[in-house]
Structure 1
Amino acid sequence: MQDWADGAQLVVIRHAPAMPRGRLYGRTDAGIASDLDLPPGMRAALARVPDRVSSPARRCRETAALLWPGAEIETDALLWEQDFGAHDGLPFEDLPDLGPLSGAALADYSAPGGESFADLCARTAPAFDAHARAAHEVGGPRVLVAHAGVARAALAWLLDDPVTALRFEIAPLSVTRLRVGPEGPVSVIEVNRTWG
């Protein structure tokens, strides 16, 4: 892992796999496996980062508790995953086939009663602005334990492009790091970094 003290950063960690697997989890508040072992080196690499925030989702809070046992972790309601409305919590095989969609149409699509990825990007942008300012003030990283959609929304915030951000894969327990400055996002350091 590169030097975590190397300037202001937003570090987005996707939570551990939600249980049971094979379902679309947005606002459905699933947990993680109780016997999960973190990849070797992950906890040690992240232990030195004191500035931590979590989505209120159970799977994120449980992941944060694994990473920093006993630590108080602030939560930010803006970091919830995309609300998939009527599709939330469904097994993947029960999701409707949307057919071919352009990137723009996919970013704008929302399930009945849910929000689109573009909506998620608009909802999370103020949180990224605030967390970037906080990281800049301390001159180091701020870790956000959140969701795949939130990591992609952070990329959309930096790139100013939700369509491109949807093309990134974000694995469970992966790290996406963005360099931030006093006025907001600067550059991508790494995306979807996992421990072997």
Structure 2
Amino acid sequence: MNECEEQTRQAAAKPGVAAELILLRHAPVATPGRLCGRSDPSAALVAADIARLRAALPLPGRVMTSPARRCRQTAAALWPAQAAQPDARLWEQDFGAHEGLPYDALPDLGPMSGADLAQYAPPGGESFADLCARVAPALAEHGQAAAQMPAPLVLVVHAGVIRAALSQVTGLLSAGLAFEVATLSATRLRCGPEGPVSVIGANLA
């Protein structure tokens, strides 16, 4: 049994300590086709898609969001009676000079290794490693809170934040970059007293 499995087993053995942290990616943006990090477009909310996702999820014990409009709008559409609290640490990666560019105008980073890609920062922006460092304390804090709650704690966030969470749980910085994260998908993490310890499922639509 590896360390992660042992942590999960120990957490599950304690009532009320093996709770879930659910990370949801926001709904599609209303102006697609461009790289969207710190820019703040509205979400394109489709009632049928929202209803489907709501039906697939347990009722949250608490909802936190990125301050981005698309995340706040998604949370409000999913659970209109439950006030979501913003956390500035959960913003998407800052893409600097690449922000807002059409996808076909972005540089081709395909030849880079995963390790190099994690360290690459667009001019004036953040690297994925920077994002992971910013997000890690928030994930630990919210994961610890989730471990004490009878219902899941939900974070409505961005693809980059979810990939950062997967990197943190797997223990390999570049690992999160290997995951696809669809809009309105859920990534579910098992949490123990120290925060997230294992992945229950990723990119669940």
TM-score (norm 1): 0.91
1:52 maps to which residue? 63
Task: Tell me which residue corresponds to 1:142.
Answer: 153
Matches within 5 A, 1:34-183: 37-38=48-49, 40-46=51-57, 48-98=59-109, 100-183=111-194
CA 1:10–1:47: 2 relative to 1, 3 Å: closer
Structure 1: distance between partners of 2:49 and 2:109: 35
CA distance in 2, matches of 1:49, 1:98: 38
Unaligned stretches of 5+ in structure 1? none
Kindly state the Cα deviation for residue 162 of structure 1 after the two structures are TM-superposed.
1.8
Contact 1:47/1:68, CA 8 A, preserved across alignment = no
Deviation sequence 1:17-64 (CA, Å, 0-9, x none): 112111100001111125554255322333621311010000101111
Q: Structure 2 unaligned runs (5+)?
A: 1-15
1: distance between equivalents of 2:47 and 2:79?
14
Percent identical across equivalent pairs? 56
Does the Cα contact within 8 Å between 2:61 and 2:149 map onto a contact in 1? Answer: no
Matched-pair contact (CA < 8 Å) for 1:27–1:88: yes
Deviations 1:94-138 (A, max 9, x none): 112235101101000000000000110000000001001110121
Give the length in aligned residue pairs. Answer: 190
The list of structure 1 runs, each at least 4 consecutive aligned residues, that deviate by more than 6 angstroms after superposition, is: none
1:12 Cα deviation from its structure 2 partner: 0.3
Q: CA RMSD in A?
A: 1.8
Distance 1:168 1:94, change over 3 A: same
CA distance in 2, matches of 1:7, 1:70: 26
**Higher helix residue share:** 2
